[in-house]
Amino acid sequence: MCQGRQSCRRLSQSDLDAAKRRPNSCVITIDGRAYDVANFLCRHPGGALALENCRGQDASVQFSMYHPELVRKFLPTYCIGQIEPCELDDNVNEADNQPFSCGDVKHQQQQSPIVRDYFALRDKFHRMGLFQTKPTWELGLVLRILCLLAASVACVLCPPESAWPIRVVLAACILGIYLQQLAFVGHDLGHTAVTHNRLTDHRLAAFLGNALLGISIGWWKLNHNVHHLVTNSVTDDPDIQHMPLLAITDEFFSSPISTFYDGKRKPFFRLLMRVQHLVFYPVMCVARFYLYIRSYEHLIALNQKRERRYFQVAELVSMSTFFIWYLTLACQLPTWPQTIAFVLLSHAVSGLLHVQICISHFPMAVCDYKNGLGTVDSDDGGHFIRSQVASTMDVDCPTWMDWFHGGLQFQLEHHLYPRLPRHHLRAAAPLVKEFCQKHGMNYVSLSFLQSNIALYCRLRDVASKAADWRPE
């Protein structure tokens, strides 16, 4: 039973509806219990917007996806009651409850088949040991990536009389691959998929991501957590909100607001979107500069909460470290043209990462997480699971190319089970595919070339509609 600030009480559906309508509340339900997390919004490690996007919903699936079991001990503080169950089968056997299954048996019996199977598959992954990280694998990966950095430095420091085009191009390309590969490690750490300790992984990410990569892990986690919860939502997903340069659906033309960036679309946007399919790859070559801007905007914001100021200052210092060593390295080249070429080419090569991110979602369906299948109040997470599958694709590649994709080739598996370490995603893929097929969901997996073609066609189709768009 709940043991919050007030004794746990039974909530009828009308009681729950009234609690959701109460001013300044943020009520979510998890495993048959209701929680008002309004007072926790600003302290939520995943950001306030991640919780606000679950407002009024059954968030059992989302909670299970992104939290270890030990986090459940904090839930009773915010519990406002246990929801009265519908009429249940008296033949439920509590002994059948799996060790990793969430909630009580009565709530599990009420779950839709897709949600029950989702949790059953999660339990199977636990029994298979797929949630356990191989420390030697992660350490070996980081050492290989640091070898790329060392190789780039060696190329830059070659004797000046060396043929400069070869030296600069080789050094820049190696450094670009280094930036791409290290971003995958930052992604692993951001999902607490390395040590499985949030504070430890965050500190490691602050070093690797900020000091060695130049991107704020704090900003990235806020962005990425929301992306996972509302993937391909026109109004809510920051990863598809790239106006005025890119739009993956004409719904952007009639949807004026971005909840994450708190911005409005401008009338001149259509002029740029008419050529978006032509400028996509050039834009990806310089996309990293945009991430620098977003990182610093986040870190210098004046509305940081007091308890997070320490991380804010630490991130500013570590990001400054990146620019010191990166620019120092670039300035070792004997001429300014070589230095500029080195900077631009290394960023262009690292743009492979942005292409890999986009092909996972841009060609897929856009989703409405608030008004989709059924109603928010009655849905138990089945629509959320279906939306994740509908908005995400895998990239079909041989095992020996897994290093290149860094886990993004199994983006669908990652979105359904984001705490799975990436070196276990290939083992999970056949079981996830079977799960999708059982419940009539389209499991999409295309080659790298096919996925790029699908992305280009999507951008081209939307660009053709932009010509007829007349903003209000």
- The closest of 405, 386, 415 to 451, measured between CA atoms, is 405
Contact of 74 with 63, CB cutoff 8 Å: no
Kind and range of the H or E run holding 142: helix 135-156
pLDDT band at residue 91, thresholds of 50, 70 and 90?
Answer: very low
The structure's pTM equals 0.87
Contact of 62 with 229, CB cutoff 8 Å: yes
pLDDT band at residue 151, thresholds of 50, 70 and 90?
Answer: very high
Contact of 285 with 255, CB cutoff 8 Å: no
| Structure token pair of residue 469 | 């768009």
Could you read off the pLDDT of 177-193 as tens digits, one per residue?
Answer: 999 999 999 999 999 88
Q: Spell out the domain ranges in the chain.
A: 1-85, 114-472
The mean per-residue pLDDT over the stretch 342-363 comes to 96
Contact of 329 with 231, CB cutoff 8 Å: no
Kind and range of the H or E run holding 412: helix 411-416
The predicted pLDDT at position 110 comes to 67
- The closest of 199, 202, 204 to 218, measured between CA atoms, is 202
Does position 257 have pLDDT exceeding 90, yes or no?
Answer: no
Contact of 396 with 389, CB cutoff 8 Å: no
Could you read off the pLDDT of 391-425 as tens digits, one per residue?
Answer: 999 999 999 999 999 999 999 999 999 999 999 99
| Structure token pair of residue 381 | 């997470």
* Look-up of token digits 């993956």: 248
Contact of 384 with 61, CB cutoff 8 Å: yes
Nearest 10 degrees: Cα torsion 386, 391, 396, 400: -100
The predicted pLDDT at position 374 comes to 35
Helix (H, G, I), strand (E, B) or coil at 50: helix
Contact of 106 with 88, CB cutoff 8 Å: yes
The two beta strands, 257-258 and 263-264, are: antiparallel
More confident site: 352 or 33: 352
Determine the Cα–Cα distance for residues 98 and 119; give it in Å rounded to an integer: 10
Give the homologous superfamily in CATH for domain 1-85: Cytochrome b5-like heme/steroid binding domain (3.10.120.10)
Could you read off the pLDDT of 297-334 as tens digits, one per residue?
Answer: 888 875 555 556 777 788 888 999 999 999 999 999 98
Give burial (CB, 10 Å; 0-12/13-18/19+) of 185. Answer: buried
Q: How many CB atoms lie within 10 A of CB 336?
A: 9
Report CA 192 to chain centroid distance, whole Å.
12
Contact of 471 with 247, CB cutoff 8 Å: no
| Structure token pair of residue 393 | 């694709």
Determine the Cα–Cα distance for residues 130 and 352; give it in Å rounded to an integer: 28
Report CA 433 to chain centroid distance, whole Å.
21
Does position 242 have pLDDT exceeding 50, yes or no?
Answer: yes
More confident site: 4 or 11: 11
| Structure token pair of residue 354 | 């942005």
Contacts of 188 (CB under 8 A, 6+ apart): 138, 194, 407, 421, 422
Indicate the average pLDDT of the chain. Answer: 83
- The closest of 300, 146, 288 to 218, measured between CA atoms, is 300
Contact of 19 with 27, CB cutoff 8 Å: yes
Highest mean pLDDT among 75-84, 271-280, 356-365: 356-365
Determine the Cα–Cα distance for residues 177 and 346; give it in Å rounded to an integer: 8
CA-based end-to-end distance of the chain: 53
More confident site: 31 or 90: 31
The mean per-residue pLDDT over the stretch 94-109 comes to 43
Determine the Cα–Cα distance for residues 442 and 275; give it in Å rounded to an integer: 30
